[in-house]
A and B are shown apart, each in its own frame.
Chain A
Amino acid sequence: MNKQLIDYILNAVNDIKVTHKRERRIRVDVEADSLTTLLESLKGQASFLHLSAITCVDWIEENQFELIYHVWSYEEKCLVSVHTRINRDRAKFVSVYDLYKPADFFERDIYEMFGVFFIGSPRMEKFILTEWFGMPPMRKDFDSEAYVQETFNWTEYNPDWLQELTDQGGGIAIKPEDIRMAGQLHNMSTHRERESAKKDQVVGKGWKS
């Protein structure tokens, strides 16, 4: 790894925070405006040709989306993760498709799962969830459990053969509500407490991009 070259490229950007996490891993925090410029100089000057992934993280409490671009250089043998944050209410960002072709897939995935629109990305359309019209499901304010409770009717499963077994003294030994983990899990949830505070929100329906 040519540390000098990479440091030179990174330090040319304003308001940058560089963390050397371990060997061959660099974390970079930049403002949203300078992200494309940084990726462009990384690709052009230090041959960061391989876009490993684009990740989106929903920080609902800070009202932000974090976008993370993981790029790898075959020559420098180094992976740089570029972190940036955008406002959650205006979930729009510029596409990096002109720099990295695989961005097509990742940006489409993020658009579908988080609702972040990428300006300039060639295929901002549905891919995996073609028959889903609700809120993007990976957002933290989408509660899958509440959606299931609201959408599906639970039915008692008690067929004749099970009834016969129960009459003979057999049947289901441990009821779902008696499972040790189930109770514990319910008490331990951290996200659920926040989510229950927003119970008045309609889940999964009426969301428009």
Chain B
Amino acid sequence: MRPENYQAVQLGDSNEYEIFIGPNHPGIEGNYALKLLLDGDTVVKGTTDAGYLHRGFEKLMEGRLWIQNLAIVPRICVPDPAPMEVAYSLAVEEIMGIEAPIRAQWIRVLQLELSRIAAHLFTFGGHAATTGMYTPMYWGVADRDLVLDLFEDFTGGRVYSIYNIPGGVRRELPEGFLEKLSNLLDYLESRQDDYDNLLFTNQIFVQRAKGVGILSKEDALEYSVTGPNLRACGLDFDVRRDDPYLIYDQLEFDVPTQEHGDAWSRILVRRDELFQSIRILRQVITKLPSISGPIRTPIPNPLSWNVPAGEAYVRVESSKGELAYFVVSDGGDKPYRVHVRGPSMMHAVQTLEYLVTGARIEDVAQIMFSLDACPPEVDR
């Protein structure tokens, strides 16, 4: 809602008052507002207010060619755009009945895991900043920038790579890229102690984050929470392992979990996941040179490309949780319908409203960030 259309509510003889948090505030990566009804500094009720980033992507996609939509999909989530491209490409491939060559699948995994690392580094920093610690934010963003350098190197784009295409990936990795990647992984691993000392075992942060925004396992299942937020409640589920896509079933990795379901557990799960991503990337570095072959399955001329009628529901694990694309084709040159199911749809609306109820106002921003919600996924 535009601020000029917002009317403050007079609540009569009561100690309760209503305030508007957002749309710009430290609690979230983007524009997203929360209307809070407060009693003293305790939240009585929170109502989310979305729509600030609505660009009508689903409608736009219905008016564009299959190939043109690849430029739109990554913009649905800024911090973690790679899973969007891959999910869309996988869905179109499933309708077409084709499969990307095995080398392209390994390169896609490389891109997905790098993107996950970048997204988690961004989240650590942001989460710490909501508790008043700004140094981890500078460190996180600076280290994320090194990952973005690699993205620039092999896809040409720092944030939106637009590197995937139905049938494979657009170009081969540049010369010497795997050494660069290996050096970056060494560097990130060497930062582990620094991050632990600065953030993850820092008592100032731990005492602020422990016991805040507790989500029980039952509630997490009730609200369809997925991804790191679900694993922080102790439920061991990962789309990569339990509903594998690409070549994830050939990789070795653990699914880290925590028990308590609070903000502290959620950030710990993300920390462990970052090192699991490094482990996966090391396997890619070892395996990729021995896999030769094409990186693209040929597709028809994209300007006059009719995808046969059909539909596909494709799920991938993004850094935030289960991301799904439902794509319907009526046999035309454009998608008939594309539905994006972002993980934040569940985390940022009902789960957030549930968690802020009864919380203190100084914890609201932290609860929001600990869920790692991405408002453009809600608004699309």
Residues of chain A having any CB pair with chain B under 8 Å? 22, 24-25, 49-53, 55, 57-58, 68, 70, 72, 74, 77, 79, 81, 100-102, 104-106, 113, 127-131, 137-138, 144-145, 181, 184-185, 188-191
Contacts and interface: CB of A to CB of B under 8 A. Distances in A.
Contacts of A68: 326
Given A105-B345, A113-B58, 9 more contacts: A52-B315, A52-B324, A74-B235, A77-B242, A129-B54, A131-B1, A137-B59, A188-B304, A189-B334
B237 A74 contact: yes
B371 interface: no
A189 B334 CA distance: 8
Nearest to A51: B224
B333 to A, nearest CB: 6
B5 interface: yes
Contacts of B2: 131
B51 A70 contact: no
A191 B313 contact: no
B51 A127 contact: yes
B341 A53 contact: yes
Contacts of A185: 65
Contact of B326 (A53, A113, A138): A53
Interface string B44-64: 000001110010101110110
B328 A128 contact: no
B154 interface: no
Contact of B350 (A25, A49, A102): A102
B225 to A, nearest CB: 9
Given A24-B243, A25-B313, A144-B56, A184 B5 contact: no
A100 B303 contact: no
Interface string B62-82: 110100000000000000000
Given A127-B50, A184-B303, A188-B304, A70 B326 contact: yes
A135 B57 CA distance: 17
A116 B379 CA distance: 19
B360 interface: no
A58 B337 contact: yes
